[in-house]
């Protein structure tokens, strides 16, 4: 990254903020991760002051209420953080005169498609979480014209709470794990997502007056679209290559694993616009999975 950049990211303990900090190191980027209590999306009065004091060149809003099932019983809180809070964040960016990158989700779609979703495809979220994230997109667009909204899916990393770490934890005590096989998507390594965010950020700052670089973009891992069961099998195959005991996956249907929130059956995102406009394409997710497993298995085996 040639140009210096002062980047503020919210959600400082999340997967993306952690990956951004790792990727920014040594590249002329000053990255400041912030969050509660100094900046709390549920407390609007904290937002503008906290961001103004940090003097960002660009803001990445990675903070969110991501407990998909809990959102069904706490809709007001989900909307306060994901919708109103996102809008307040974008309004603060507009006041400061800096771009905002807002992280959104495949859950804005209902999953009824049979081909990868493009940015202009109809949105119809099935869950409170998805509804709150869609409202957040709309709030950001209304509050700050200088924005890029990045929808992503199935994010995983060696840190935080995610599917890969859950599968490895379950594998410690089970030889067979039941996993849903009728929800299809593409996993996204958090470090590849972070690399894309930094690329978009650099473009937004380099071309401040270019509207084509703004708007909604789909940012996800490339390669094979698979089910959660297929993803689990890939995880356990990587685990086995590193000397761990075998774990089998028993595919089940969504109906066999009922949850409070409905999930889209199809979550595959089309990244063509990101490549065309920003010149960014993420690697095959399996490459990121192998890298993630190297880190996790080394950590597990360390004294």
CA atoms of 221 and 282, how far apart (whole Å) = 6
pLDDT range class, residue 297, cuts 50, 70, 90: confident
Task: Please give the C-alpha separations between residue 183 and each of 40, 84, 107, 113, 271, in angstroms, as whole numbers.
Answer: 33, 30, 12, 12, 19
Reply yes or no: is the peptide bond before residue 37 cis, omega within 30 of 0. yes
Determine, yes or no, domain membership for 298: no
DSSP-H helix ranges across the chain? 15-24, 47-54, 70-73, 75-79, 86-96, 128-143, 163-171, 190-206, 228-241, 272-278, 285-301
DSSP class of residue 82? I
Among 9-13, 116-120, 263-267, 296-300, which is the least confidently predicted range? 296-300
Q: What is the pLDDT of residue 208?
A: 85
Distance, C-alpha 254 to centroid of its chain: 23
Q: What is the CA radius of gyration of the chain?
A: 19
Write the CATH number for 272: 3.40.50.720
Q: What is the pLDDT of residue 3?
A: 60
Q: What is the pLDDT of residue 84?
A: 94
Whether residue 96 is predicted with pLDDT greater than 60 in this model: the reply is yes
Is this structure's pTM higher than 0.75? Answer: yes
Determine, yes or no, domain membership for 154: yes
Q: Give the range of the structural domain holding residue 272, as residue numbers without chain letter.
A: 5-162+186-222+268-283
Secondary structure element (H or E) that encloses residue 188, with its range: strand 188-189
Tens-place pLDDT, residues 232-282 = 999 999 999 988 888 999 999 999 988 999 999 999 999 999 999 999 999
Determine, yes or no, domain membership for 302: no
Determine, yes or no, domain membership for 104: yes
Determine, yes or no, domain membership for 65: yes
- Per cent of the chain over pLDDT 70 is 97
Tally the domains of the chain.
Answer: 1
Determine, yes or no, domain membership for 41: yes
Determine, yes or no, domain membership for 291: no
pLDDT range class, residue 12, cuts 50, 70, 90: confident
Task: Please give the C-alpha separations between residue 221 and each of 185, 270, 284, in angstroms, as whole numbers.
Answer: 10, 10, 6
The pLDDT of 107-111, averaged and rounded, is: 96
Averaged pLDDT of the chain: 92
Secondary structure element (H or E) that encloses residue 103, with its range: strand 100-105
Give the three-state DSSP class for 80: helix
Per-residue tokens: 287:
């490459």
pLDDT range class, residue 303, cuts 50, 70, 90: very low
Whether residue 301 is predicted with pLDDT greater than 50 in this model: the reply is no
By annotation, the residues acting in catalysis are: 129
Distance, C-alpha 197 to centroid of its chain: 10
Tens-place pLDDT, residues 161-209 = 899 999 999 999 999 999 999 999 999 999 999 999 999 999 999 988 7
The pLDDT of 35-45, averaged and rounded, is: 86
pLDDT range class, residue 127, cuts 50, 70, 90: very high
CA atoms of 33 and 12, how far apart (whole Å) = 5
Determine, yes or no, domain membership for 262: no
DSSP class of residue 56? -
């Amino acid at each position: 990254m040639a140009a210096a950049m002062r980047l503020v990211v919210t959600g400082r303990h999340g997967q993306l903020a952690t990956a951004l900090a790792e990727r920014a190191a040594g590249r002329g980027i000053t990255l400041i991760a912030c969050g509660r209590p100094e900046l709390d999306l549920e407390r609007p009065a904290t937002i503008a002051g906290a961001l103004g004091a940090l003097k960002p060149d660009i803001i990445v809003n990675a903070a969110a209420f991501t407990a998909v099932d809990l959102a069904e019983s706490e809709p007001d809180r989900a909307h306060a953080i994901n919708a109103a809070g996102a809008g307040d964040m974008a309004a603060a960016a507009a006041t400061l005169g800096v771009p905002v990158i807002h992280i959104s989700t495949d859950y804005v779609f209902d999953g009824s498609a049979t081909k990868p979703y493009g940015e202009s495809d109809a949105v119809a979220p099935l869950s409170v979480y998805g509804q709150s994230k869609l409202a957040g997109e709309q709030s950001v667009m209304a509050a700050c014209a200088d924005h890029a909204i990045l929808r992503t899916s199935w994010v995983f990393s060696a840190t935080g709470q995610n599917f890969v770490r859950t599968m490895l934890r379950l594998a410690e005590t089970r030889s067979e794990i039941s996993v849903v096989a009728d929800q299809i998507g593409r996993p996204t390594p958090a470090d590849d997502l972070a690399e894309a965010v930094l690329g978009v950020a650099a473009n937004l700052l380099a071309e401040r007056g270019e509207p084509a670089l703004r708007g909604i973009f789909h940012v996800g891992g490339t390669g094979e679209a698979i089910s959660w069961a297929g993803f689990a099998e890939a995880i356990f195959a990587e685990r086995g290559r590193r000397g761990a005991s075998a774990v089998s996956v028993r595919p089940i249907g969504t109906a066999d694993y009922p949850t409070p929130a409905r999930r889209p059956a199809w979550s595959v995102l089309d990244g063509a616009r990101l490549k065309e406009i920003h010149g960014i394409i993420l690697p095959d997710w399996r490459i990121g999975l192998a890298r993630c497993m190297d880190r996790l298995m080394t950590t597990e085996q360390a004294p």
